[in-house]
Chains A and B, each alone.
Chain A
Amino acid sequence: MDYRLKIDEEVIALQAEKKKDGSMVLSHAGRTFEIEYTMVSEYHQHLTIDGRPLNVFIAGDGNSKMVVIRGTPYYIADADAVENRSRGKKRDQVMPQEVTPPMPAVVVRILVSEGDEVKKGDSVIVVSSMKMESTLVAPADGRVKKINVAEGDKVMPGQILIDIDRDAAALPRE
């Protein structure tokens, strides 16, 4: 079976052939590996790769997983599944399109008021996560339309904290 996996920023192609229970052959970049595997638990695999033993720990949902080998994490995703997601989301990873926290946080300070004009990159709100403050910025030139949160609120990634009416010229291209 063919796989295209995204490991960190690279996409690699592999072929995996299951021989029998607990045994498979993996091919990548012209190399072949004989792999014996034991599922110790839902999160723990014991592998023997060409005779070399390795304990591997793994967790994650269907499409992306975190694999830990001797303390080092690898972030692996199914490359085909990642590309099928909306293109807008991929762009998010380059530059946030909304005023939203990158991780669960608490609102510390709101730096603008409704009606304020803002420029792209202006600081608009400060949130704190595990005692570390981060400042979120306006994603485009525009005007603050609505502030959806108050100081002290717990906020989540994806939640839009401040609605900004973009100036016509600053609308993102679809």
Chain B
Amino acid sequence: MMYSDMAYSVCDQLIPGRISAIFRKVLVANRGEIARRVMYTCHEMGIATVAVYSEADRKAIHVLKADQAVFLGGSDPSESYLNIDKVISAARQTGAEAIHPGYGFLAENPLFAERCESEGIVFIGPPSKVIRELGDKTVARRTVMGSGVPVIPGMNKPESDTRVLAGDAEKIGYPVLIKAAAGGGGKGMRVVTSPKDFQEACASATSEAKRAFGDGSIYLEKYLSRPRHVEFQIIADSRGNVIHLFERECSIQRRHQKIIEETPSTIMTPELRERMGKAAVTVAKASGYVNAGTVEFLVDQQGNFYFLEVNTRLQVEHPVTEMITSLDIVRIQLEVADGNPLPITQKDVRSRGHSIECRIYAEDPEKGFYPSPGRIICMEEPSGPGIRNDCGIYSGFQVPVEYDPILSKLIVYAEDRGQAIKRMIQALENYVILGVKTPVPFLIDVLKSEAFAKGDTYTDFIDTYFCGWKPDRREADAACAAFIIDELTRTVKPKPAVGMESTELSPWQTLGAWGR
């Protein structure tokens, strides 16, 4: 099935039977599982959806599910999902009144939000000014310090003079953490325990930051050892009402990327939650926040919390919050974006039970989580009580190499943490994906571990407990039996390679040259 290169319309008006809603039509400027998830809520609300897609995503699920789809261009993000002109043009030509940016891509790009504002298109997120200010980590820190919320002891503005930096490091007290002012993800970060290593660490952090973000500015913070990474979901309307939707703990990370998230956090007490929730709301108000966002904190071993940063977007792990509060955050985002007040007050927000999310990437957990591209040969999603899978793939889909390799997010909800862990283990064991490698067996072992059961979830969890992990292969006999049975019963020609040995022919090589 081929789509033409211009916008096509399945129906250029509201689908009969859908109730009339706030926006008539929303464009989702993203792809994969998040684009699909946003569209679910739009369709529930009777809002028509417009998908945008690149060459590699011609048959992607978000395109197949949308009411309209606009081809943007080449697979490289700069030619498609990151191309502001093309996305705006797609909204213009389809008459979309609002754009939901998802996460990543243009979601936290102040220029994009600004462009929407000037074109009269509603950007479903905070004002561009807020994105810009909170996007600069040192500006964000200054704003928060002014509001009285504790921040990690450190400097407020980027500095390039290493003598000044060294002096500040003495004031803060070693160990110190050097960070890039222009971005995150671990780039431009160095931990310095001793003054004699300081100069060299600054030089190397600066050059790494410059390569990653085009801006080598660095600043210093006190380094907390073994902190817990706890974030609060906030949502605000344009009338100054701000509420929080409790916390999420995202401490299980690999290469500074989260893979397991949960709520409630195992270190939370009602008193700490109250204080941190208030702090999150204070930060949001102080920065003039509107729409959904997340305030991140680090919590040290003594239970002190410190502001880290604000993520001015809907986050990947938002579903766990939805499960315990029974709220649809995207729905609230749409209502607020249309100028409506928040549909609930803080006292209306209730949390119940426990939720865990596992991110399912196309990666090989036995080879350092190396990307594992390929075609999905067959898949079976888990289902059952308390199971939700936000999925961006299907059997037969060719997973592109140009983008983040997230395939789906598997979320469970149960009455308490112990039950949620059991539920997630079952769900993972029942999740079948053939054609690419995934961290499913690794996640199963993490969830079965005593450390996880105890809630020992520090950011160094994987390095501490799962360094050099290999799966426990107990069913080797059964696997061999299956191999032999497959041989005996095979009547068709050999199937395409799974992609295990890199030099075997893959379906990609038979597709011919790609247009760019």
Quick check: A18 and B501 within 8 Å, CB to CB? no
Binding site of A, secondary structure by majority: helix, strand, loop or mixed?
A: strand
Quick check: A37 and B502 within 8 Å, CB to CB? no
Known: A5-B480, A157-B502. A43 touches B473 (CB 8 A): no
From A66-74, A111-119, A135-143, give the one contacting chain B. A66-74
Q: Decide yes or no whether A83 CB sits under 8 A from chain B.
A: no
State which of A14, A39, A74, A75 has its C-beta within 8 Å of the C-beta of B489.
A39
Known: A103-B373, A129-B371, A130-B404. A76 touches B483 (CB 8 A): yes
Alpha-carbon separation in the docked complex, A61 to B492 (Å): 11
Alpha-carbon separation in the docked complex, A57 to B479 (Å): 9
State which of B432, B485, B508 has its C-beta within 8 Å of the C-beta of A45.
B485
Known: A60-B497, A66-B500. A74 touches B476 (CB 8 A): yes
- CB contacts under 8 Å to B, within A1-27, are 3, 5, 7-8, 12, 14, 16, 18, 24, 26
Quick check: A89 and B479 within 8 Å, CB to CB? no
Alpha-carbon separation in the docked complex, A59 to B432 (Å): 11
Residues on the B chain within 8 Å of A30, using CB: none
Quick check: B478 and A69 within 8 Å, CB to CB? yes
Q: Decide yes or no whether B498 CB sits under 8 A from chain A.
A: yes
Q: Decide yes or no whether B495 CB sits under 8 A from chain A.
A: yes
Quick check: B484 and A56 within 8 Å, CB to CB? no
Alpha-carbon separation in the docked complex, A41 to B492 (Å): 13
Residues on the B chain within 8 Å of A60, using CB: 495, 497-498, 500
Known: A43-B434, A73-B441, A104-B401. A130 touches B484 (CB 8 A): no
Residues on the B chain within 8 Å of A45, using CB: 482, 485-486
Quick check: A56 and B370 within 8 Å, CB to CB? no
With an 8 Å Cβ cutoff, the count of chain B residues facing the other chain is 59
- CB contacts under 8 Å to A, within B428-444, are 428-432, 434-435, 437, 440-441, 444
Residues on the A chain within 8 Å of B434, using CB: 43, 57-59, 66, 68
Residues on the A chain within 8 Å of B189, using CB: none
Alpha-carbon separation in the docked complex, A14 to B476 (Å): 12
Alpha-carbon separation in the docked complex, A20 to B422 (Å): 39
Nearest CB of chain A from residue B504's CB, rounded to whole Å: 8
Q: Decide yes or no whether B22 CB sits under 8 A from chain A.
A: no
Alpha-carbon separation in the docked complex, A142 to B222 (Å): 48
Alpha-carbon separation in the docked complex, A162 to B500 (Å): 24
Quick check: B370 and A132 within 8 Å, CB to CB? yes
Alpha-carbon separation in the docked complex, A14 to B494 (Å): 22
In the complex, the chain A residue whose C-beta lies closest to that of B104 is A131
Quick check: B506 and A131 within 8 Å, CB to CB? no
Q: Decide yes or no whether A154 CB sits under 8 A from chain B.
A: yes
Number of A-B contacts (CB under 8 A): 177
Mask for B472-516, Cβ within 8 A of A = 1, else 0? Answer: 110111111111111011001011111111111010110000101
Quick check: B502 and A59 within 8 Å, CB to CB? no
Residues on the A chain within 8 Å of B362, using CB: 130
Mask for B126-152, Cβ within 8 A of A = 1, else 0? Answer: 000000000000000000000000000
Quick check: A70 and B429 within 8 Å, CB to CB? yes
Residues on the B chain within 8 Å of A71, using CB: 428-431, 440-441, 444
Q: Decide yes or no whether B76 CB sits under 8 A from chain A.
A: yes
In the complex, the chain A residue whose C-beta lies closest to that of B486 is A58
- CB contacts under 8 Å to A, within B282-304, are none
With an 8 Å Cβ cutoff, the count of chain A residues facing the other chain is 60
Residues on the B chain within 8 Å of A35, using CB: 481, 485
Q: Decide yes or no whether A144 CB sits under 8 A from chain B.
A: no
Residues on the B chain within 8 Å of A44, using CB: 378, 380
Q: Decide yes or no whether A110 CB sits under 8 A from chain B.
A: no
In the complex, the chain B residue whose C-beta lies closest to that of A3 is B484
Nearest CB of chain A from residue B506's CB, rounded to whole Å: 7
Q: Decide yes or no whether B270 CB sits under 8 A from chain A.
A: no
State which of A3, A65, A69, A106 has its C-beta within 8 Å of the C-beta of B401.
A106
Residues on the B chain within 8 Å of A14, using CB: 480, 484
Q: Decide yes or no whether B16 CB sits under 8 A from chain A.
A: no
Q: Decide yes or no whether B471 CB sits under 8 A from chain A.
A: yes
Quick check: A26 and B482 within 8 Å, CB to CB? no
Alpha-carbon separation in the docked complex, A18 to B487 (Å): 12
Nearest CB of chain B from residue A69's CB, rounded to whole Å: 5
State which of B378, B440, B473, B514 has its C-beta within 8 Å of the C-beta of A154.
B514
Q: Decide yes or no whether A123 CB sits under 8 A from chain B.
A: no
Quick check: B476 and A64 within 8 Å, CB to CB? no
Quick check: A26 and B489 within 8 Å, CB to CB? no
Q: Decide yes or no whether A62 CB sits under 8 A from chain B.
A: yes
Of A92, A102, A132, the most chain B CB neighbours within 10 A belong to A132
Residues on the B chain within 8 Å of A154, using CB: 401, 514
Nearest CB of chain A from residue B406's CB, rounded to whole Å: 9
Alpha-carbon separation in the docked complex, A166 to B72 (Å): 45
Quick check: A89 and B503 within 8 Å, CB to CB? yes
In the complex, the chain A residue whose C-beta lies closest to that of B433 is A68
Residues on the A chain within 8 Å of B373, using CB: 103-104, 129-130
Known: A59-B377, A61-B497, A156-B509. A26 touches B481 (CB 8 A): yes
Quick check: A57 and B483 within 8 Å, CB to CB? no
Quick check: A24 and B503 within 8 Å, CB to CB? no
Alpha-carbon separation in the docked complex, A61 to B476 (Å): 19
Residues on the B chain within 8 Å of A47, using CB: 478, 481-482, 485
Q: Decide yes or no whether A161 CB sits under 8 A from chain B.
A: no
The 9 closest A-B pairs by CB, nearest first: A130-B371, A74-B479, A130-B405, A61-B494, A43-B378, A59-B434, A62-B494, A67-B479, A157-B502
17 A-B residue pairs with Cβ-Cβ distance under 8 Å, sorted by A, are A8-B473, A33-B477, A37-B485, A42-B495, A44-B380, A59-B435, A59-B498, A61-B494, A71-B444, A72-B441, A76-B483, A103-B371, A103-B502, A130-B362, A130-B402, A131-B404, A157-B502
